[in-house]
Structure 1
Amino acid sequence: MNVSYQWLSEYLDLTGITPEGLADKMSRTGIEVEDIFVPETGLKKIVVGHAIKVEDHPDSDHLHVCQVDIGEEELSQIVCGAPNIATGQKIIVALPGSRITGNMKIKKSKMRGQASNGMVCSLSELGFSEKVVPKKYADGIYVLPGEAIPGEPVFSYLAMDDAVLDLSITPNRADALSMRGVAHEVGAIYDRKPLFKEVLLNEMENEKIADYINLAIADKEDTPFYSMRIIKNVKIAESPMWLQTKLMNAGIRPLNNVVDITNYILLEYGQPLHAFDYDRLASKKILVRRAAEGENLDTLDGETRQLTSEMIVITNGEKPVALAGIMGGLGTEIQEDTVNIALESALFEPVAIRKTAKELNLRSESSSRYEKGINQATILSASAHAAALIEELAGGSVVSGAAVVSNIEVENILVSITLEKLNRSLGTAIKTDEVLSIFKRLGFSVSEENGLFEVSIPPRRLDISIEADLLEEVARIYGYDNLPSTLPIIESTPGKLDDKQRIVRHTRHYLEGSGLSQAISYVLTTPEKAGQFVMRESDATKLDFPMSEDRSTLRMNLVSGLLDNVHYNTARKNTDVALYEIGRVFYKNEGSLLPIEEEHLAGVLTGSLLENSWQEKAGKVDFFNLKGIVEGLFETYGLTEPLTFITDKDREGMHPGRTAAIYLGEQSIGFIGQIHPLMAKEYEIKETYVFELNLHPIIEGEKHPTIYAGIPKYPGMTRDIALLVDETITNQQLTELIREKGGKYLRQVRLFDLYQGDKINEGKKSLAYTLSYLNPKETLIEEEVTKAFEKVVQALVKQFDAVIR
C-alpha cells in the first residue's frame, strides 16, 4: 500500500519525523517499508502556465501556437500538439533547460518555423503512470485548477513534493490497509495520538430511506452486514485537486467526484464502498444472493463474466448488478448524467470473495481488503463520511437514515497476559507502568491488577486474539533492538553423529571414492514413474493441487529419478554416468492419511568407469562392476548378518537374467541388476545397471565391534584351485563352502578366473580361486595349510561334484 506522508500528517503530528526515519521505525516494528519515493525527484524548472492565447499552427493540422504567461514580464511562445489545449487554461510548462521524466532535457527549438520556448506537459511526462492519469486527460495535457499561480513550481499543486511510503503489508495486518490504521500504528510507535476530524452528515428530514430501498439477504453467513444510503440530486463532475492527487499518489485513477470519494474512503478507512446509479437499478429492492449457474454480468472493466453458484452477487431483485466485494456492473455505473446514487457499504465472507476473485482472475482494491478482513466498527461511519463528502463535492442531498441488514455484534475482544510472562518470554525487566503505556499507545483499553493485564482489543486489530499476540505487540513497540541478547543456559552436550548420520556420511564417502557422484532428484514425479521398481506393495501418495502432472505423486523408488538423470546426461553426449542418491521414498497403506517414509540408497552405472589410455582400454560396465561396489560397501559396514545375492527373474522393469535380490541375513533389503531393454528404451538410455537398498536394516543391523590389530609379523601362504562345476552353481555358493571348510587360518578367497567355452563340456564352467592363509601369532606350517586345503577340496567334490583341474 502507498502511504502519503502529507496525508498522514493530517491525522498525526509528524514534527521532527522525516519520511526516512518513519520508514526505518516502521520496518523495525513489523511493517516493512519497501521504498520511499518523492514524485518530483529528478525534475526541475517545471512551472504553472496560463494559456493566454491559443491559435492553430499555420503549417500543421494538429499543432497549436500558444502564448503562455509563466510569471514573467513577457508571454512565452510554446508550440503544443495536445488536442485538448485551450485559451484560459492553467497548464504545466517545462521551461527551457528543465528536465522531465526519463532525464530528458527541454531546449528552445523551432517547430515548422515557429519558435517554441519550452513544452506543455502531460502528467505522464512528469512520471505519472498511465494507469493513474485521469481519463479526461489520458490523451492530452493536464489542466490545473484556476487558482494556480503562473510561474510557481507545479509540484506542490500535484502533490509531487510529497513522500510516498510503499508498505509491504502482511496478511495478518489488514488494519494497515487504511490511512487511519497506519496513523494508529505510527502514533503507537512515536507515542503521538492520532486525531480524526468529526464528520457531520446533514440528512433530509422529509425523505426517509424506507421509501427508496428495501434490502434482503439470502444468506447472512455470506453477507453478515449490508447497508445502503441514498443521495439525491448529485452533479457528476471532476474531483477537486486535493482529492485527485491523493488518489494518484496511492496508485488509483481519478474518474469523477462520486467514484473518487468512494475510493478515498477505501483508502482512509479500509472500507470498500460502491456507488450505484439509483435510477439505473430500476428497482427499489436489493437482494444479495449466490449467483445462479449460467448467469452473466458485464462488469465495469467492459468484460462479460460467466458466474457460478460459488459467487455472491448484488441484484435488483431479479438480475445481478454487481459482483459482491469485487467490482460493480456496467449497467449501474455512475455516468455524467447520474442524478441519484445508492451507496453500498457492506461486509462479505472473505473466503467466497477470494475464490471468486481467483476464479475470474479479477482482483481489486476492494477484494484484497475483504479477503484480509475489515474493521466492522467503521462500516457505517465510513458510509456516512462518504455521503457527507458527496453532499459537499457533488451537491447532493442525503436521504435520512441508512437501510441496514446486520448479523454481527461489534465488540472489543478481551485478552489477558501477566507481567511475569512478558518479562520471562522477552528476557526483559519491563515495569508495569511501561507496559500500560505501550497498550495505551496502541489505542487499547487496559486494566491491571497484581501483574495481570486485561486488554480490550478494538475491532480494527483483527490479528490480536491470544496471549502471544499481546506479547508480540509489547515486544515491537518496546523495540526489538532494546531486547537483551542472552545465551540459553542449558547443560552442555558433546556433539556427535548418530548411527544414521554416521552411516549415511560413510556411504557417501565410499561411493564417491568408487567413482560415483551424488545426485539429488525431485521427490515428486509422475504416477507411472512413482510405481516403477517398487520394493513393496503400496498405494501412491498424490497431491491434491500439484504444480503439474509431472510433479503430482510422491516417489516410491529412487531408481526412476536416477534414470531421468542418465537420460539428461546421455542426451548431452555424456555417455559415461555413475551416480548415487540417498533420499526418502514414500509408501502408503490403504486407508492411511499419511505416507510411511523410508531412507533408501540407490546407484546407477552406464557407459564406462575408465577412460581409454595407453595403459588400459575402457570397457563397458557390467553387473559385476556394480555388484563389486555394493559388496565392498557392505564389507565396510561390518554387519554381522551375511550379505547374499539371489537370482530374481520376476522383478518388473529389470532384466530377468541379470538381476538379483539383495538379502541381509534372511531379510530382503533391495535389488541389483540391469534395466530391462524395453524399460531402457522408454527412458531413451543404453545398457544401464542399477541397485536400490533400504537403509533402515543397515542402520539398525548388528555390527561387529571395531578391533584394531598390529600388522602381522609372520608370512602367509596361498593355494590355488581350479574347479569344473555345473554352470548352475554360483560363485557365492562355492565361496561360502570354501570359507566354511577352510579352517581358522583362511583369510581370503578370491576368484581370479572364469571360463565357459568350447574346450569344456556343455553346461559346465571352470572357476579358479586363490586361498590366502595367515597365522598372526606364528609362522604357518606347510602341513597345517595342506591339511586345511584338502578339507576344502574334499568338500567341493562331495557337495558340488566338482572336478579339480
Structure 2
Amino acid sequence: ITPNRADLFSMNGTAWEVAAILEEQPTLPSFELVESDTQTADLLTAEAPGELAPKYALRVVQGVKVQDSPLWLQKRLWNMGIRPISNVVDVTNYMLLQYGQPLHAFDYDKLPAHDIKVRHAYADEKIVTLDGQERVTNPQDIVIAAGNEGLMFAGVMGGASTEVTTDTVNIVLEGAVFEPRAIRHTARDQNLHSEASTRFERGVNVEDTFTALDHAAALIAELAGGTVAAGRVVAQDFTYVAPVVEVTVDQINHVLGTVITVAEVAAIFDRLFFDYVETNGKFTVTIPARRWDITISADLIEEVARLYGYDNLPATLPTGATTPGKLTVKQALIRASRHTLEGLGLDQAISYVLTTPAKAARFALHAGHPIQLDYPMSQDRQQTRVSLLTGLLDDVAYNVARKQSDIALYEQGRVFVSDGDTTQRPAEIEHLAGVIAGNWLPKTWATPAKKADFFVLKGVVEQLLANYALAQSVRFEANGAREDMHPGRTADIYVGETLIGFIGQIHPLTAKEYGIGETYGFELNLAAILSLPKNKTNYEAISKFPAIARDLAILVTADTTAAAVRETIITAGGQHLHDVTLFDVYSGTNVAAGMKSLAYALTFVDPEKTLVDDEINAAVAKIEQKLAENHHAEIR
C-alpha cells in the first residue's frame, strides 16, 4: 500500500475501494451499544492539548471477564497475521483492522490516578512497554499519563503497568487521533514501529474514531460480559469540514490524453460515492473523511484514471523538438576513467557510502569531518565516508575471506565532507580509488607470477593520468605522514602544485585490522582533476627518421629520487628528447657509502630530419650540466 492510500489499512476503506471497482454498494458493520446508569464522567477525567491529540475520548466497561476470544474472532485475527491474546485485547485489534483506528485498553484498577492526560514526555522517564522492554523517553515523545506518571507511548505501544490481564475487571478504552509527525518521531526515537503507529503516521478516518470506540465497547460487553458506562469522556474533538476540490473534464482529458465525457466522469464519481455538483463540465467535489489523501485536482484526475482503466489510456509518442544525447565534460571524464582502469585489469566495485566512525575518518584527502546520521541503519553504517579506500578494503577483506587472494578493484563515487556546520549540506566530491593485492600476473609455464607492488599500481595511475592529457606535469612525492599508509611506501600525487591524491601500501597494522595481507591502494580527487587545464589531444605521426639512443649513468646521494632526476633530464633535454627510462639502480661494491648509481636510457627523435651526433652530444652535455647543478651528480 502506497503511503498516500492509508485508507486501505482498514477493511472499511478496502470495502469502499472494492465497491468502486465492482460498481457495488458496500455494507459496513453495525452494532448496538447498551449503556448502564453509571456515568463515565464520574469514573475518570481526561485532558489532551489539541496540538498533540485533535480528538481524544475515553469509555469505561465494568465487570468484564477476561478470557479467550470466540473462535470466529481468533480466526479473523490469525488470518490477518495478529496473534489472539484475550477477548478485550482482541476486540481492540479487531477494530484496528475494521476501521483502521487504533484503540487501547487500560486496566482501570491499575491506574495510579483516574485523571488521564496526553502530554509530552519528561526527559528520561522510564516506561516498560508491552513487549517487556524498559524504554527511556525523549522530551519530544508523546505519552499517556495518569497522576503525572507516564503509562505508555501514545499511539505507538501500551505500557505493562496498566496491561489487561485475566485479573482485570474494569477497563478504560481510549480512542484518539494523534499528531502524525509526533507519532513518527516517537516510533523512530524508540525504534518501535507498531500497527498503531503505522496508521497514525499516515492518518486515520477522523469520523470513525469515536464510532470505533463505541463499537469496541459494545463488542467487549458482548464477549466479556461487562456493562458500558454511559457517555464518553471527551478531552478534544472537532467537527470535520469536508474539503471541496474542483476539476474540469477538459483538465482530465488534457492530462490523460483521453476523450472522456462528462457522463463518464460523473459515473466514476458516483462509483466512488463522492458528492459533487457539475456545471458545464466543471465538477465541484466534496471529499469524504475516509479519503483524506485527496486534496487537489490532480488527485481527482488520478481517481478517474484508475477507474477508467490505465489500459484504456491512449499510448502516444512524445511530441516536440528532440535533442541528441550528450555527455557533459564531467561525465565523459568519469566514463573514460572507468574504461581505462578496466582496460588495465581492474574490476569495478560499488561499496556502501555509510561506514563506522573509526573507518569514516581514514585516508582523508580533504579537511573536514564525516557526517553522523541521526538514525543509522546499523552500528556499521553510522557515518558517511570521506574516502573510497575504506569501502574497497572491506571488499578486499570480503574476497580474502572467501579464498580469493588475487584482487584488483577500483571504485568511482562521491565522498562527503562537512566543515562542522550542521545547518549546511556537506560537500559532495567525486573521487576515484583502486586497490591491488596478491598476484598481479598469474604464474604460467613460461613465466613466474608477478606480485602486486607499489610500482605496478604506480604504472596504472600514471597511465590513467596520462590519458587525462593534463597540461601540467605529474609528480610523486614521498610522504611518510599519512595515517593508515605505509610510511616508507607512500607518495602524494601532484599535478603542478595541486595535490590530487596519494598512492602507496596500506599500513600493515591497518591491513591486519581488516584481515588482509599486503595491499596497495590509490585515491584521486576527480573533482580537482576535472578543474585542471588540459592539452588538446592531437594525432602525431610516427617519425620517418631513425631514433638515436644514449645511455647515461650518474652517481647521486641515496636520498635523491629517480623522479626528480628524470624531471631534470626532461627539462634540460630539449625538444628532440622523446623518452627517458630508468633501467638500472645500483648501490654496493665500487659505489661510495650513502650513494647510488642510476642508469637512464635516453631516446632522441626529430620528425623532420635525421639527427647528427653533434646535436645529440650537445643535448647530453646540457643534461649532464643540469644534473650536476641540481643534484650534484657525478657522470660515470
TM-score bracket relative to the smaller structure: 0.7 to 0.9
Q: 1:561 aligns with which of 381, 391, 406?
A: 391
AA at the equivalent of 2:254: R
Check if 1:531 corresponds to 2:336.
no
What TM-score does the superposition give when structure 2 sets the normalisation length? 0.83
AA at the equivalent of 1:415: V
What is the aligned partner in structure 2 of residue 270 from structure 1?
A: 100
1:527-585: CA deviation from partner (whole Å, max 9, x where unpaired):
22222222232122111122333322212122333334444445555554433332222
**1: distance between equivalents of 2:405 and 2:221?**
80
Mapping 1:557-636, distance limit 5 Å: 557-570=387-400, 574-592=404-422, 593-613=424-444, 615-618=446-449, 620-636=451-467
Q: Can you give the 5+ residue segments of structure 1 that lack an aligned partner in the other structure?
A: 1-168
AA at the equivalent of 1:722: A
What is the aligned partner in structure 2 of residue 187 from structure 1?
A: 19
Instruction: Describe the SS at the equivalent of 1:609.
Output: strand
The verdict on how the C-alpha distance between 1:439 and 1:781 changes in structure 2, with shifts beyond 3 A counting, is: same
1:459-509: CA deviation from partner (whole Å, max 9, x where unpaired):
111222233322322221222222222222243322343333333333333
Instruction: Describe the SS at the equivalent of 1:725.
Output: strand
**1: distance between equivalents of 2:66 and 2:511?**
74
Q: Give the alignment's Cα RMSD to 1 decimal.
A: 4.2
Instruction: Describe the SS at the equivalent of 1:549.
Output: coil
1:267-326: CA deviation from partner (whole Å, max 9, x where unpaired):
443344567787x58999552345787677896x9x6977858453365x6878887655
Check if 1:413 corresponds to 2:239.
no
Check if 1:288 corresponds to 2:117.
yes
Task: Report deviation, 1:676.
Answer: 4.0
Contact 2:127–2:152 (Cα < 8 Å) also in 1:
no
Check if 1:762 corresponds to 2:593.
yes
What is the aligned partner in structure 1 of residue 565 from structure 2?
A: 734
Task: Report deviation, 1:643.
Answer: 0.9
The verdict on how the C-alpha distance between 1:752 and 1:534 changes in structure 2, with shifts beyond 3 A counting, is: same
**1: distance between equivalents of 2:370 and 2:379?**
14
Contact 1:213–1:403 (Cα < 8 Å) also in 2:
no
1:323-360: CA deviation from partner (whole Å, max 9, x where unpaired):
7655587878597996x876654434455666777788
**1: distance between equivalents of 2:356 and 2:465?**
32
Q: 1:722 aligns with which of 549, 553, 564?
A: 553
1:429-469: CA deviation from partner (whole Å, max 9, x where unpaired):
32333323322322222234455433221111122223332
**2: distance between equivalents of 1:553 and 1:260?**
42
The verdict on how the C-alpha distance between 1:501 and 1:336 changes in structure 2, with shifts beyond 3 A counting, is: closer
Contact 1:747–1:774 (Cα < 8 Å) also in 2:
yes
Q: 1:495 aligns with which of 314, 325, 349?
A: 325
Instruction: Describe the SS at the equivalent of 2:456.
Output: helix
The verdict on how the C-alpha distance between 1:229 and 1:621 changes in structure 2, with shifts beyond 3 A counting, is: closer
What is the aligned partner in structure 2 of residue 61 from structure 1?
A: none
Task: Report deviation, 1:377.
Answer: 1.4
What is the aligned partner in structure 2 of residue 173 from structure 1?
A: 5
Task: Report deviation, 1:524.
Answer: 2.0
Check if 1:480 corresponds to 2:310.
yes
What is the aligned partner in structure 2 of residue 380 from structure 1?
A: 210
**2: distance between equivalents of 1:578 and 1:238?**
63
Task: Report deviation, 1:184.
Answer: 1.4
Contact 1:209–1:230 (Cα < 8 Å) also in 2:
no
1:34-83: CA deviation from partner (whole Å, max 9, x where unpaired):
xxxxxxxxxxxxxxxxxxxxxxxxxxxxxxxxxxxxxxxxxxxxxxxxxx
Higher relative contact order (CA 8 A, sep 6+): 2
Mapping 1:10-29, distance limit 5 Å: none
Q: Which moved more, 1:188-197 or 1:282-291?
A: 282-291
AA at the equivalent of 2:116: L
Check if 1:691 corresponds to 2:522.
yes
What TM-score does the superposition give when structure 1 sets the normalisation length? 0.67
AA at the equivalent of 1:187: A
The verdict on how the C-alpha distance between 1:365 and 1:691 changes in structure 2, with shifts beyond 3 A counting, is: closer
Q: 2:336 aligns with which of 482, 491, 506?
A: 506
The verdict on how the C-alpha distance between 1:439 and 1:746 changes in structure 2, with shifts beyond 3 A counting, is: same
Contact 1:273–1:343 (Cα < 8 Å) also in 2:
yes
The verdict on how the C-alpha distance between 1:785 and 1:542 changes in structure 2, with shifts beyond 3 A counting, is: same
The verdict on how the C-alpha distance between 1:757 and 1:289 changes in structure 2, with shifts beyond 3 A counting, is: same
Instruction: Describe the SS at the equivalent of 1:752.
Output: strand
Contact 1:212–1:284 (Cα < 8 Å) also in 2:
no
Task: Report deviation, 1:187.
Answer: 2.0
AA at the equivalent of 1:609: W
Contact 2:107–2:168 (Cα < 8 Å) also in 1:
no
Pair member with larger Rg: 1
The verdict on how the C-alpha distance between 1:428 and 1:801 changes in structure 2, with shifts beyond 3 A counting, is: same
**1: distance between equivalents of 2:66 and 2:615?**
117
AA at the equivalent of 2:306: R
Percent identity between the two aligned chains: 48
Contact 1:411–1:458 (Cα < 8 Å) also in 2:
no
Check if 1:638 corresponds to 2:469.
yes
Check if 1:545 corresponds to 2:372.
no
Instruction: Describe the SS at the equivalent of 1:505.
Output: helix
Contact 1:416–1:467 (Cα < 8 Å) also in 2:
yes
Instruction: Describe the SS at the equivalent of 1:173.
Output: helix
Check if 1:771 corresponds to 2:602.
yes
AA at the equivalent of 2:6: A
Instruction: Describe the SS at the equivalent of 2:340.
Output: helix
Q: Count residues in correspondence.
A: 630
The verdict on how the C-alpha distance between 1:219 and 1:769 changes in structure 2, with shifts beyond 3 A counting, is: same
Instruction: Describe the SS at the equivalent of 2:268.
Output: helix
**2: distance between equivalents of 1:501 and 1:394?**
69
Task: Report deviation, 1:669.
Answer: 1.0
AA at the equivalent of 1:635: A
The verdict on how the C-alpha distance between 1:246 and 1:804 changes in structure 2, with shifts beyond 3 A counting, is: closer
**2: distance between equivalents of 1:389 and 1:575?**
67
What is the aligned partner in structure 2 of residue 17 from structure 1?
A: none
Task: Report deviation, 1:759.
Answer: 0.8
Task: Report deviation, 1:727.
Answer: 3.6
Contact 1:275–1:334 (Cα < 8 Å) also in 2:
no
**2: distance between equivalents of 1:549 and 1:198?**
50
Check if 1:471 corresponds to 2:301.
yes
The verdict on how the C-alpha distance between 1:628 and 1:427 changes in structure 2, with shifts beyond 3 A counting, is: same
AA at the equivalent of 1:476: R
Contact 1:725–1:800 (Cα < 8 Å) also in 2:
yes
Mapping 1:703-714, distance limit 5 Å: 703-714=534-545
Contact 2:442–2:448 (Cα < 8 Å) also in 1:
yes
**2: distance between equivalents of 1:799 and 1:395?**
103
What is the aligned partner in structure 2 of residue 660 from structure 1?
A: 491
1:513-534: CA deviation from partner (whole Å, max 9, x where unpaired):
3343333332222222222222
Contact 1:655–1:676 (Cα < 8 Å) also in 2:
yes
The verdict on how the C-alpha distance between 1:603 and 1:194 changes in structure 2, with shifts beyond 3 A counting, is: closer
Contact 2:65–2:166 (Cα < 8 Å) also in 1:
no
Instruction: Describe the SS at the equivalent of 2:505.
Output: strand
**2: distance between equivalents of 1:200 and 1:571?**
67
**2: distance between equivalents of 1:520 and 1:742?**
44
